[in-house]
Every structure is written in C-alpha cells, then in structure tokens.
A and B are shown apart, each in its own frame.
Chain A
C-alpha cells in the first residue's frame, strides 16, 4: 500500500512565524503535490514537484514556497504565516506513468491554525 505521511496532524502558529509542513511518501513516486482545502472552495493546488529539485506553481502559490531535496520528501514553507493561511493542508503523491495510469494518493492532512 502507498503510504503518504505528514509531519503534524494539528499545528498552531502565530502570525509572522515561519512554518514548515513536511510530507514523506514511501512508494518512490516522482510527483508530489501540496493542496489546501477550505470549506466551499474544495482542494486548491499550491505547488507540485515532478522530480527532485523541480517544482511548479499551482493555482495559489502566493505566500508559500516548497523544497524537494530528496525524492521521498516534499516540504511546504510559509515564510511569514498569516491568519488567511489557516486551513487544512493536504500532501499527495503519484507515479508518473506515460501510459496515463498514475493515481494521486493523499496524506492524512495537517490542520494549521494561525493566530
């Protein structure tokens, strides 16, 4: 079974703090993704990475950065947390298969509250 783990289930931070959210997958997947999920807005893609040290902006990258130094680990960084970044953050990974059979697997999520 694919396993995607996230470093924290719940996190409370103060405005202006630097926040690191870590995600690790154990299936040697090339692709990793960070989403945020908010009521009424569904899942919105923040960043994704298709290889080590490679990244692309998603739909809402402002206020976030990412790091992928190793294939299994993808970090989301909030340089200076703000209250509007309070949300559920979901990490996902998928295998890049040119035969189009890739599937996204999600971690359990990190609920971040910024005070």
Chain B
C-alpha cells in the first residue's frame, strides 16, 4: 500500500531543543493526524487537522495542515526525555474513503 514520505527518519536531539518533522504526499488530503508510539504500545493520537492552513497545539506540540493540502508539519518545543518514541503522520484523501495512509515514522531520541 501507499505510504506517506515522512522526514527525518530519525533524530537525536538534546533536551530542551525544539524538534520539527514533516510529511508530504503526492495526493491532496482532507485530514491529517499525528500520532506518537512508544515501544510495544499502540499509537496515541496527538493532534488532528481538518482544514488547510489549520494550526493546532497540544501542550508543547504544534501541528499544521499545509496550505497545498499535500503536507503537514509537527513541532515539539523544549523537548524532554519522555518525548522519545516514534512519531508518525496519517492522511485521508478527499475521495471519501474510510482509509488512512500512514507515514513511515520519525524516531526521536532525546539526550538528557
């Protein structure tokens, strides 16, 4: 199945730094979701975006629905050790499908 292009694939950062990651697609989406997954656990929804240009925050996390509708961005400010995990995006196209397409994931490691 199709996957979204997500970058970076992995990153090591120092505690306190800000983090940015993004997802891009060749298709237009009408919904973008951002998830975090801890090892051995299911993905937990962080932020949902439903409109082009929308900017939504959840604590130190901020996500944006790109105005082209083909990309989305997630920023984490002032990272802490518990931010470690895999972050991935999911998008749903405008064709009315029930199905989501998932990004390949960004593995984040925070160095204390």
A-B complex is real: yes
Binding site for B on A (CB under 8 A): 4, 6, 31, 42-45, 48, 50, 58-60, 90, 94, 96, 100-109, 111
* Interface residue? B99 (CB, 8 A): yes
A60 and B3 alpha carbons, distance in the complex (Å):
14
Residue of B nearest to A30 (CB): B98
Asked if B88 lies at the interface with its beta carbon under 8 angstroms from chain A, I say yes
Contacts of B105 in A (CB 8 A): 42
Please state if B102 and A42 are interface contacts (CB–CB under 8 Å).
yes
A90 to B90, CA, bound (A): 15
Q: Are A104 and B103 in contact (CB under 8 A)?
A: no
Q: Which of B31, B88, B102, B103 contacts A102 (CB 8 A)?
A: B31
Asked if A59 and B45 make an inter-chain contact with CB atoms under 8 angstroms apart, the answer reads no
* A43 pairs with B102, CB closer than 8 A: yes
Residues of A within 8 A of B31 (CB): 100-103
B residues within 8 A CB of A106? 35, 42-45
Judge whether B3 and A104 touch: CB under 8 Å. no
Q: Point out the residue from B1, B48, B88 that lies within 8 Å of A44, measured CB to CB.
A: B1
A101 contact set on B, CB distance < 8 A: 31, 48, 50
User: B62 interface residue, CB < 8 Å from A?
Assistant: no
Closest Cβ of chain A to B41, distance in Å, is 6
Q: Is residue B75 within 8 Å, beta carbon to beta carbon, of the partner chain?
A: no
* Chain A proximity of B18: nearest CB distance (Å): 26
Taking the nearest CB of chain B, how far is it from the CB of A69, in angstroms? 19
Contact of B33 with A by CB under 8 A: yes
Residues of chain B contacted by A107 (CB below 8 angstroms): 42
Instruction: Tell which of A101, A103, A104 has the most Cβ of chain B within 10 Å.
Output: A104
List 19 A-B residue pairs with CB atoms under 8 Å apart, sorted by A's residue number: A6-B42, A31-B98, A42-B104, A42-B105, A43-B102, A45-B1, A58-B1, A90-B43, A100-B50, A102-B92, A103-B31, A103-B45, A103-B48, A104-B45, A104-B100, A105-B45, A107-B42, A109-B40, A109-B41
B1: A residues at CB distance < 8 A? 44-45, 58-60
B30 within 8 A of A: yes
When distances are taken between beta carbons in the complex, the residues of chain B under 8 Å from A108 are 41-42
